[in-house]
Structure 1
Amino acid sequence: MKLRSIEMVLPDAADAADFLVNVWKTNLAAVQNNTHYIRGSGAFPYLVALEEGDSKYVRSVTFVCDNDELSALKDRVTQSGFPCRPEVCTDLGGGEGIVVELPEGELLRFLVNTEEAQTIDDDDLPVKLTHVVFNATDAERTADIVEEVLNFRVSDRTKGMVFVRCNDSHHSTAFARAGFSSLNHIAFEMKDTDAVMRGVGRLRDHERTPAWGPGRHGPGDNVFAYYIAPFGAVVEFSTAVEKVPEDYKVGAPEDWTWPENRIDQWGMSDKDFAGLKVAEETFRFHRTWQPEPLN
């Protein structure tokens, strides 16, 4: 299973797309059904869908899987009793599968038979999304649920987050111990550290400074630089997220501590805690469909 994309609704979607394409540096894959589709250099048809709407919310986060994974997932989701429905995808790339609403409102979509795109040879484009992180009222309970129902696995726990994976990448998502439910941030996987730093340089050319970073995380060991996008979401340049084996030892908060006044491995960056908190509350989840039986 792989994380593919996030689908968002917001006013002024064209302006948000302009930022991602011309400042952040992605490619515009298509505009259809009042939605701008933003892609990277990899084979996924898009990474971010920006749909024009009157308010800001996340309509889904999409994973692609195989037929066996989807069949087993349908059984577990049905047994859970969570709101869900069959899905025939009308977004770029098509496919079919299911969408499920978790108890705190997170809307996750799982698709098979999706189309891929021709890859692009450009080292400054993001390759894919490496993770989409959520805020949670109860991060531990939510992590337990995604382990039991979605067959994801917890990789690490820190004082601030529970990190969860759906393949051998250390985390495809995480749940922040925030006290509320919303989108925390979207992380774009860059080719390497140089690509991250060139991204920081491009944002500097547009008089934008990181809200946190550059730095290197503990859990996942990835290089990062976070920004608050003009459309309100937190977006991250990231690279080299750790690959972990099946028997990876789950870390505890005491395993991830830093010397005083440091907040990452390098200890060279500041963090705009207040600005990030506001941005992390901007995009909530909103279900616009009615539940239907999966079988």
Structure 2
Amino acid sequence: MKLRSIELITPDAAKAAAFLTDIWGMAPAEQRGTTHYLRGSGTHPYLVALEEGQEGVRSTTFLCEETELASLQKRVAESGLAAKPVVSEDPGGGHGLIVELPEGVLFRFLAGSAEAEPLDGRDLPVKLTHVVLNAADAEAAGDVAERVLGFQVSDRTKAMVFVRCNDSHHSTAFARAGFSSLNHIAFEMADIDAVFRGIGRLRDQKMAPAWGPGRHGPGANVFAYFIAPFGAVVEFSTAVEKVADDYKVGAPEDWTWPENRIDHWGLSEKDNAALREAEQRFRFHRDWVAAPLATTAA
């Protein structure tokens, strides 16, 4: 299974798309009505969808094989979580289900989605590396991700529960925030140079990082966070750690820092107040009615 895309709703989708393409560094994929689809250099047909409307998150989309989808569908049906079968109308198509986790997080799982030809461009993001969600109860969210979705918890810190769906250290994480919303979207860049060139592009626009550059503990990825003009927190990232099935799950006491240090490098301050405000903006937008799922795995 792999993370593919996030589908956002924003009042001015065209303006948000212009920032992500002209400044952040994505490529336009296509536009359908007032919905803008943006892509990176990899084979996913899009990474971000920007739909016109009241601010929110429509879904976060994962791709899986037919056998994975059948097993997942059975577990979701037996769990009692709100869900429904879906056929994707977004680029790439595919079929599967959308499920609402207990705090409203919306995950969509698709099989049979088509790929796109890769693009050249050293500063295009390759893909999404992770989408982090805020949670009132991060432990409960991580438990549902493991028990129902088939994900695995990789690490626990004082701030987050990190969860993976393949060998990448985390494809998502649940922040111990006290509320449920989108925390941030992380874009995988080709290398550290691409991350720093991205920081430079935004500095050219008088935009300073809200946090970074730095290197995280869990996942060991290089990072730089910015607050986009349309309100979402977006991250340049690269070199997320690959882990084996027997990776030892870390506990909060395993991830501590010296005084005045919150990452490996200690190069930058973190604008906690601005990030906290931005992280509360994009709530989850369920506009569908739950429907029965098949309960027989293939």
| Counterpart AA for 1:20 | L
Determine if the alignment matches structure 1 residue 33 to structure 2 residue 33.
yes
| Counterpart AA for 1:81 | G
* Residue in structure 2 matched with residue 43 of structure 1 by the alignment: 43
**Which aligned segments of 4 or more residues in structure 1 are displaced greater than 6 angstroms?**
none
SS at match of 1:285: coil
TM-score (norm 2): 0.98
| Counterpart AA for 1:129 | L
SS at match of 1:241: coil
* Residue in structure 1 matched with residue 150 of structure 2 by the alignment: 151
* Residue in structure 1 matched with residue 213 of structure 2 by the alignment: 214
Determine if the alignment matches structure 1 residue 10 to structure 2 residue 10.
yes
- List runs of 5+ in structure 1 lacking aligned partners: none
| Counterpart AA for 1:31 | Q
Pairing of 1:93-242 with structure 2 (within 5 A): 93-242=92-241
Compute the displacement of 1:34 (Å): 1.8
Compute the displacement of 1:121 (Å): 1.5
| Counterpart AA for 2:41 | S
Alpha-carbon distance between aligned partners in 2 of 1:9 and 1:40, rounded to the nearest angstrom = 20
SS at match of 2:148: helix
Q: Residue deviations 1:204-253, cap 9 Å, x none?
A: 11110000000000000000000000000000000000000000000011
Alpha-carbon distance between aligned partners in 1 of 2:238 and 2:290, rounded to the nearest angstrom = 37
Alpha-carbon distance between aligned partners in 1 of 2:12 and 2:34, rounded to the nearest angstrom = 11
Compute the displacement of 1:286 (Å): 1.3
Q: Residue deviations 1:39-66, cap 9 Å, x none?
A: 000000000000001x100010000000
Compute the displacement of 1:33 (Å): 3.1
Compute the displacement of 1:294 (Å): 1.4
| Counterpart AA for 2:282 | F
SS at match of 1:179: coil
Q: Residue deviations 1:154-210, cap 9 Å, x none?
A: 000000000000000000000000000000000000000000000000001111000
Alpha-carbon distance between aligned partners in 2 of 1:3 and 1:185, rounded to the nearest angstrom = 14
SS at match of 1:150: coil
Determine if the alignment matches structure 1 residue 84 to structure 2 residue 89.
no
Alpha-carbon distance between aligned partners in 2 of 1:140 and 1:63, rounded to the nearest angstrom = 21
Compute the displacement of 1:87 (Å): 0.3
Alpha-carbon distance between aligned partners in 2 of 1:24 and 1:33, rounded to the nearest angstrom = 23
Q: Residue deviations 1:124-147, cap 9 Å, x none?
A: 000000000000000001100110
SS at match of 1:227: strand
Determine if the alignment matches structure 1 residue 246 to structure 2 residue 245.
yes
Alpha-carbon distance between aligned partners in 2 of 1:107 and 1:257, rounded to the nearest angstrom = 31
Determine if the alignment matches structure 1 residue 52 to structure 2 residue 52.
yes
Identity fraction in percent: 68
| Counterpart AA for 2:10 | L
* Residue in structure 2 matched with residue 279 of structure 1 by the alignment: 278
SS at match of 1:290: coil
Compute the displacement of 1:123 (Å): 1.1
Alpha-carbon distance between aligned partners in 2 of 1:213 and 1:263, rounded to the nearest angstrom = 10
Q: Residue deviations 1:11-57, cap 9 Å, x none?
A: 0100000000000010010000320001000000000000001x100
- List runs of 5+ in structure 2 lacking aligned partners: none
Compute the displacement of 1:95 (Å): 0.6
| Counterpart AA for 1:51 | E
TM-score (norm 1): 0.99
Alpha-carbon distance between aligned partners in 2 of 1:238 and 1:167, rounded to the nearest angstrom = 18
Alpha-carbon distance between aligned partners in 2 of 1:212 and 1:33, rounded to the nearest angstrom = 35
* Residue in structure 1 matched with residue 266 of structure 2 by the alignment: 267
